Amino acid sequence: MQPALRIMQCTLDMNHGREAVTIDNAVVDALAEESLGPGDKSAPPAAWGRTVREYLSGAPELARWQTPLLTLDRERLDANLALMAEWTAAAGVALAPHGKTTMAPQLWREQLTAGAWAITLATGWQAQLARSFGVGRIMLANALVDPIGLSWVAAESARDAGFEFFCWADSVATVELMDKILRDAPAAPPVRVLVELGGAHGRTGARTRAQAHEVAAAIGHSERLVLAGVAGYEGALAHDRSAAGIAAVRGYLGELAALHTDLVTAGAYRGPAVVTAGGSAYPELVVGELARLADDTTTVVLRSGAYFIHDDGFYAGISPLAAPAVNPGLRAAMHGWARVVSRPEPELALLDGGKRDFPFDEGLPVPQLVVGGTLPAGAEVTALNDQHTFLRLPGADAAELPVGSIVRLGLSHPCTAFDKWRRIPVIDSAAAANPRVVDLIRTYF
C-alpha cells in the first residue's frame, strides 16, 4: 500500500461522478499563524508568543512538552487514511467521515484530500463551523429543527448555490416543524432531507418502514424540502461481534435497503439519492448490505469517523479493519503521556493525567511503555480521577517506576479524546526514540 499523499488542494476530484468538494485552504492555513500561549494545554512556555509556524520550524522535540499530553502519530495517520480510502474505493462506496470525532478542520482537509465525499457533523453549530472553513458538502446526521440553525442553512444555500447540505428527519412532526420554520427563512433551494430509519431499542429514527414511508410522503408534499435518500445508524443496535449483535445489524441494514428500494419503485425521489449508514464498528456489514444499491442515481455513503485516529481499546477490538487481524490494518494514531507524581504505596503509582485529559467512557487507558525505562509486569490502570490515573503495579516497588517517570498510554475512543484538547501535537512516530513534533492540530469543541 502506498502512503497517503498529503496534497493540500482547494478543489478535490471525487468519485461516483459527483462534483468536487471544496475547502478553503487559506482559512485552514491561517491556523498556522495563531500564537501559542498558556491556553494551549501542556505546551512548553518556551513556545508561548510564537506562531505555530514559527514553533514548528525548529523541529521541536516532544520531550520539551509538559505532561499530561495527548499526541497524534503522523506515520499511523497516513497509513490509516490510505487504508480507508483504498478500502471504500474498492467497495464502491463513498465516505463522509464524521467530523465530530476530531472537530479539527486540518484533519478534515486531509480526509477530503484522500477522497472523502463529504464531512458528516451532528449539530447545526458544527455545520456552521465546517462551513466557515469552506467545506462544500455537509451531511448532518441528525434532524435540524433549531430555527436559527435551519434558517442559517436556507440563507447559506441561497448565498452559495454550490453548497450542498443534507439532514435527516424521522417523523412527520419533524418535517412539519422544518417546513414551518422555513416559511419565515430567506427564499432558498429546498433543503435536502433523508428519511432516518431506526430500530427497536435504538437511538433516533422511525421505528418501522411504514412510519418511514409516512415521513417520506410528508417531505414530498413540502415545497421547502426535498427527499434526498434514506439514512440510519446501525451502531446503536449492537456493541460487540456476537452472533446476536451481527444478526441485529444485518437485519437492520436489510430494512434500510428495502426502504430505499420501496422509494425508488414508488418514484418518490425527484433527483439523485443517498443511502447512508455506518460507524467504525461494522463497516463491512454496511458494505455487504448496501453497496449493491449504488448506481448512476444512488450514492451509498459510509460515515465512519474513528478510522483515521483508531484506538487501542474499543475500536481495536471490534473493527474488522484493525491490525493485526488485517495487515497492514488500522492502528492507533493517538497516545496519552503522563508522569508519575506519587508512589504512596509499593504497588501503586499516581500519574498526572486523568478524566480531564484522557477518554474513559469506552475503557480505561492501557500502559504501554515507560520512556527510558521498563514497564513493570502486570501494570494496569484501574481508575481515573479528574487529574490522576491510578496505575496498579502488582509485586513492584518504588525503584521500578520512580517518581518522575513518564508512561505512554494506549487510549480507547477518539470521540472523547479530542474534546479535552485545544491543540494537539502531531509527532513523527510514537515509536521513535526521540519523537519530533511535526504539526499542531487545532480543535473546536
Same fold, 74-309 and 334-442: no
CATH of 334-442, one of 3.40.50.1000, 3.40.630.40, 3.10.129.10, 2.40.37.20: 2.40.37.20
pLDDT score of 194: 98
Give the model's confidence band at 174: pLDDT under 50 very low, under 70 low, under 90 confident, else very high: very high
Contact 317, 344 (CB under 8 A): no
Residue 10 has pLDDT above 80, yes or no: no
CA dihedral 436, 75, 69, 122 (to 10 degrees): 140
pLDDT score of 397: 85
Whether domain 74-309 has CATH 3.40.50.1820: the reply is no
Whose CA is closest to 24, among 129, 141, 158, 151? 129
Beta bridge partners of 98: 120
Rounded to an integer, what distance in angstroms lies between the CA atom of residue 323 and that of residue 181? 48
- What percent of the chain has pLDDT above 90? 92
Residue 259 has pLDDT above 90, yes or no: yes
User: pLDDT of 297-334, one tens digit each?
Assistant: 999 999 999 999 999 999 999 999 999 989 999 999 99
Average pLDDT over residues 76-82: 98
Residue 391 has pLDDT above 50, yes or no: yes
Average pLDDT over residues 17-32: 86
pLDDT score of 8: 27
Please report the beta strands in 330-435, taking only residues with DSSP state E, as ranges in sequence order.
334-345, 348-351, 366-370, 380-384, 389-392, 406-410, 423-427
Give the model's confidence band at 5: pLDDT under 50 very low, under 70 low, under 90 confident, else very high: very low
Residue 414 has pLDDT above 80, yes or no: yes
pLDDT score of 201: 82
Rounded to an integer, what distance in angstroms lies between the CA atom of residue 227 and that of residue 218? 9
DSSP string, 295-312: BTTEEEEE---STTT--S
pLDDT score of 428: 98
Residue 16 has pLDDT above 90, yes or no: no
Amino acid sitting at position 53: R
Beta bridge partners of 426: 72, 439
Residue 188 has pLDDT above 70, yes or no: yes
Average pLDDT over residues 369-397: 96
pLDDT score of 12: 28
With left for phi above 0 and alpha for psi between -120 and 50, is residue 413 left, alpha or beta?
left
pLDDT score of 15: 38
Give the model's confidence band at 20: pLDDT under 50 very low, under 70 low, under 90 confident, else very high: low
Average pLDDT over residues 388-407: 94
Average pLDDT over residues 149-154: 98
Contact 120, 98 (CB under 8 A): yes
Q: Among 2-16, 231-245, 286-300, 367-381, which is the least confidently predicted range?
A: 2-16
Residue ranges of domains in the chain? 3-61, 74-309, 334-442
Average pLDDT over residues 109-117: 97
pLDDT score of 261: 98
User: pLDDT of 67-76, one tens digit each?
Assistant: 999 999 999 9
Average pLDDT over residues 356-373: 97
